[in-house]
Amino acid sequence: MQTVRVGLLGLGQIGSGVYSILTRKVRELEAQCGVRFEIKKVAVKNPGKKRSVKLPRKLLTANAFAVVRDPEVDVVVELIGGVREARLYVKEALRRGKHVVTANKALLAEYGDEIFELACQRKCWVQFEASVGGGIPVIKALREGLVANRIDSIHSIINGTSNYILTRMSENQMDFKEALAQAQAKGYAEADPRLDIEGIDAQHKLAILLRFAFGGRVKFDQIDCEGISRIRSEDIAFAEEFGYRIKLLAIAKRSDDGIEARVQPTLLPKEHILASVNGSFNAVLLRGDEVGDVLLYGRGAGSRPTASAVVSDLVDIAKRGSGRFADAALMMRAVRSSLKIKSTSSILSRYYLRFHVTDRPGVLSQISKILGDHAISISDCVQKIRSEGSVVPLIVLTHAAHESDVRDAIRLIDRLKSIRGKSQVIRIESGAA
């Protein structure tokens, strides 16, 4: 029986889940994969702290370097999150010839180039299935199942917290803060939840997907990013009236002049396959030139789903062994060529616009004139009547318009005396599936 000796960094949500699977499913893993996993050491900030998992005190250390430098550790599993320290430990492990499994999307989005480069040099594996889509095997699908394809587009919901919040706001009329508090209590949110609600977590994940789906380096901050923090319950309700759901989408599309890549709240027609992905579920809709559309769906956050992905990475490493570095070509391509990300200002799209206006004669004509002057054509328009002279919401749906024209028009509209507050602008996606 092959034994793989594991050093675990971090025993939070995911770390506890991994420890639990590796200790509960010893027989199943041996029977299915012919591998025995032995946890040699676990690094935690505070070894004295009470924990949900029971483990021998002697396994615990506060010194993460003692784990990555331990000659008896074959694979380091980095689950501490954050970037600065995780980067040091991962690189030290690779320098010492140890394979690495990580769920750290921020680390790979920001320092993927140096980490994958080092892994190639040291002929070590860096496995990161848990970094995107929680328990969904999307990285494996890209590396293996879809390898015969050129990937032409990705439409994805890859932040469980945002999706949970939008679902609760839509189905339970819950307010944003309460929904976020629930997502935190369920262990979906990042330690700093701004990463979730400002879209940055999805931006990190899309950068990782792009690297392996489209084959090349990408600077994650070139991906346009907007989160859900400005979405109001009224936007969800108005979108519903027009036949749409609001989802935080991470989108990438290939074209002759580069790749369009963005993370943003999006109106999706209710019948779109991603519109019914709810709660903490994630989904990745990939379009390959041979296979057509493939939808991967599953729990995108939480201890057990994410731990499931980490354990599958461990099994992969055990099966491949050190000698067969067959993935090197794919890694090299993902590190050594660069992807050209297009500016989103040239992108054509339909838009949902929501203004708060004082209900006076002439207001609508002022707004429609500015839109017309910017070549933006209105497809639907609804004003919610209260009493004359009061502030009312005015919703405009547009035909396809250039993003730069829409931004310029909104800047002018927001300066009108009759406009209250900042107007809402959300793209409408009507494309694939």
Q: In terms of Cα–Cα distance, which of 81, 133, 91 is closest to 113? A: 91
Under the binding rule (CB under 6 A), the answer on residue 128 touching ligand HSE is no
Out of 91, 205, 247, 253, the active site residue is 205
Helix residue spans in 99-258 (DSSP H): 105-122, 138-140, 160-171, 176-185, 194-197, 200-210, 233-241
- Cβ nearer to ligand HSE, comparing 41 with 299: 299
Q: In terms of Cα–Cα distance, which of 153, 137, 157, 155 is closest to 288? A: 153
Q: In terms of Cα–Cα distance, which of 117, 27, 12, 103 is closest to 312? A: 103
Contact set for ligand HSE, span 82-101 (CB under 6 A): none
- Cβ nearer to ligand HSE, comparing 310 with 410: 310
**Total residues binding ligand HSE (CB under 6 A):** 11
Report, in Å, the least distance between residue 15 CB and ligand HSE. 14
Report, in Å, the least distance between residue 140 CB and ligand HSE. 17
- Cβ nearer to ligand HSE, comparing 193 with 288: 193
With contacts defined by CB under 6 A, name the span among 155-163, 173-181, 350-358, 402-410 that binds ligand HSE: 155-163
With contacts defined by CB under 6 A, name the span among 57-65, 137-145, 153-161, 318-326 that binds ligand HSE: 153-161
Tokens of 81: 């999150």
268 alpha-carbon distance from chain centroid: 18
Under the binding rule (CB under 6 A), the answer on residue 301 touching ligand HSE is yes
315 alpha-carbon distance from chain centroid: 24
Report, in Å, the least distance between residue 190 CB and ligand HSE. 5
Report, in Å, the least distance between residue 86 CB and ligand HSE. 14
**Beta-strand pair 424-428/126-127:** unpaired
Contact set for ligand HSE, span 370-399 (CB under 6 A): none
Contact set for ligand HSE, span 157-196 (CB under 6 A): 159-161, 188-190, 196
Return the number of other C-beta atoms located less than 10 Å from residue 326's C-beta: 8
- The number of residues in the chain equals 433
Under the binding rule (CB under 6 A), the answer on residue 134 touching ligand HSE is yes
- Cβ nearer to ligand HSE, comparing 288 with 298: 298
Among 112, 135, 288, 300, binds ligand HSE (CB under 6 A): 300
Report, in Å, the least distance between residue 193 CB and ligand HSE. 8
Among 74, 78, 198, 201, binds ligand HSE (CB under 6 A): 201
Under the binding rule (CB under 6 A), the answer on residue 198 touching ligand HSE is no
- Cβ nearer to ligand HSE, comparing 7 with 81: 81
DSSP string, 235-260: HHHHHHHTTEEEEEEEEEEEETTEEE
Report, in Å, the least distance between residue 396 CB and ligand HSE. 32
DSSP state of 338: B
Report, in Å, the least distance between residue 152 CB and ligand HSE. 25
Q: In terms of Cα–Cα distance, which of 286, 302, 303, 308 is closest to 101? A: 308
205 noted as active-site residue: yes
Q: 139-163 b/e with 16+ CB inside 10 Å = b?
A: bbbbbeebeebebbbbbbbbbbbbb
List all residues 6 or more positions away from 147 whose beta carbon is below 8 Å from its beta carbon: none
- Active-site amino acid positions: 205
Binding site for ligand HSE (CB under 6 A): 134, 159-161, 188-190, 196, 201, 300-301
